[in-house]
Copies of this chain bind each other. A is one copy, B any other.
């Protein structure tokens, strides 16, 4: 089952807040319900959010008035609401922008035809995401030697994309090539995407793994129990600085100190050439309550305060390579990433 798909004019997604306890679907028949699902992280992961953004524009066109001017206004407002739900992952804005280009190109034409086109476009974007992830897997798999012990952070798997995964897609591809791997899964507080989602995917895939708390990776590296790190990304600046789930930067620092490769796996759509360095990437601050509680259980004393930056920036100097569907980009990243984007656009053309 895909992480996000549509049936008719309704968008369905696997509710990731209920995993691994149960596989439940959320149905979104309106832009508002999709925005709410994104805000609550029922769907998350940069590539999946990109596709959600495109489906969101289709939902907006579907629910909007039949008259072109009013529809355009409704869809434009909805696009802005969608973009604002999660500011860090650029893919969401990218997916919205791709769909909005279609709206602009159909200005004044038949509204029903535009709706059909938007649904078809979002479906194609979803199909293409799966294809891209398979390509990322193929490019990245040779980096994993037989017997490799791989650390990953957060969930950059099938659940973060439409299917297959980016960082976990590389693992999946290598495992299906017959390589024996052991994955160390950072539990990834506060949302526990590692222990809840990545462990669930690896359990289903039959790849051996161990969940660890985020603070154990350094110890395992010092003991020589990890060979390389591979993570996803929410936005990559032109210089190669990488925004990803909070804690990624710490993994990169530890990898550097222990002489381990640190790879990022992400589609070209995650590269934001309009952003020069990581310092310009907006870091979403989420509710402190998410740090102070879990599953309804309060863990801190009454009155406790907390911080909750949801992402951090890993400077390019810590990144060994960025695995995209166009191949593996290395330093100098300003050149290799620009080339990847240009090649991707040429392919689209």
Contact = CB atoms under 8 A, between A and B. Distances in A.
A224 interface: no
A254 to B, nearest CB: 6
A300 B211 CA distance: 8
A222 B298 CA distance: 29
Interface stretch (A81-89, A155-163, A187-195, A230-238): A187-195
Contacts of A253: 218, 253-254, 257
A189 B210 contact: no
A143 interface: no
- Of the candidates A188, A196, A219, A291, the one having the most CB atoms from chain B within 10 angstroms of its own CB is A219
A203 B305 CA distance: 10
Contacts of A199: 300-301, 304
A90 interface: no
Interface stretch (A35-43, A66-74, A242-250): A242-250
Nearest to A154: B215
A222 B295 CA distance: 28
Contact of A249 (B188, B196, B222, B292): B222
Nearest to A188: B215
B299 A195 contact: yes
A192 B249 contact: no
A297 interface: yes
Interface string A184-209: 10111110100110011001000011
Interface stretch (A4-12, A56-64, A307-315): A307-315
Contact of A250 (B189, B254, B308): B254
Interface string A170-191: 0000000000000010111110
A73 to B, nearest CB: 39
Interface string A132-165: 0000000000000000000000000000000000
A291 B211 contact: yes
Nearest to A200: B301
Task: Please name the 6 residue pairs, one residue from A and one from B, whose CB atoms are nearest each other, closest first.
Answer: A215-B247, A20-B301, A218-B250, A189-B213, A219-B312, A295-B297
Given A184-B307, A219-B312, 18 more contacts: A21-B298, A188-B215, A195-B299, A195-B300, A196-B299, A199-B300, A209-B305, A210-B305, A214-B214, A214-B215, A215-B247, A216-B309, A219-B309, A220-B307, A253-B254, A257-B257, A296-B297, A297-B297
10 contacts: A20-B301, A184-B307, A186-B215, A195-B292, A196-B299, A208-B305, A219-B250, A294-B294, A294-B299, A295-B295
Interface of A: 20-21, 184, 186-190, 192, 195-196, 199-200, 203, 208-220, 222, 246-247, 249-250, 253-254, 257, 288, 291-292, 294-309, 312-313
